[in-house]
Amino acid sequence: MTDERNIDADLVKIEALLDVTFTDKMHLLTAVTHRSYLNENRGAKQEHNERMEFLGDAVLELVVTDFLFKKYPEKPEGELTAVRAALVNTVSLADASAKLGINDFLLMSKGEAKDTGRARQYILANVFEALIGALYIDQGYDASRKFIAGHLFPKTEKIVEKRLWQDAKSRFQELAQENHSVTPTYETLGQEGPDHDRVFTVGVFLGKEKIGEGKGLAKQEAEQKAAENAMANKNW
């Protein structure tokens, strides 16, 4: 969490990270403000970033759709939709935010600031969309597109080449059948924690051989992680 006394200086640092100078700094300040911050700072002048995120999500979808439509004229609608989803999912956007260094400048409550797990990943992804919304309001479509292009478009070829637009289970099944003529099977190896926060451990097998293992708050999530782990272990 950023100390309020340093907010003006931090906004200048964020602009340097983004390589953008905002006409109205309030747009940028709003983009990095989580709802929880306002609960602890009643005198803050800015809104939280959820409306900016809503706008940024729409701009992001249009920009990425236009880019993919022009880049891959031979691909059908279904595959383009899947590639777009892989490019703008929570993991991808959170990674883009983290690489920018935005994490150091988020305005959050003390409690939210301590969370470094999945909740922080969602916050980082939402901030990336909020920054797009702030850019769009402050400087228009072209500035928003330039920002998105610089931080997301380079990921596209890897997503397409490695078929990352498929979910991990589907990719692993295709590769397992292609390389071993075997369909993977999944088995729950264990579970721990209380009912409201249970963690499942799942193994994925080719025949009787365990190839990978994954953990998740749902069996489906654990299976996806197991498939990812298996592909890494197979160097696929």
**Tokens in use for 205?**
């097998």
Q: Which one, of 97, 71, 93, 113, lies nearest residue 18 by Cα?
A: 97
Q: What is the largest CA-CA distance in the chain?
A: 64
Residue 223 appears among annotated catalytic residues: no
Catalytic-residue membership of 57: yes
Count other C-beta atoms under 10 Å from residue 174's C-beta.
13
Active-site residue, selected from the candidate residues 53, 129, 138, 228:
129
Look at strands 199-206 and 209-216 and give their pairing.
Answer: antiparallel
Three-state DSSP state, 187: strand
Whole-number Å distance between alpha carbons of 14 and 132: 13
Token pair recorded at residue 217: 């708050």
Q: And the tokens for 192?
A: 């721990």
Which position among 10, 53, 57, 95 bears the catalytic label? 57
Tokens of 109: 């409550």
The catalytic residue positions are: 57, 129
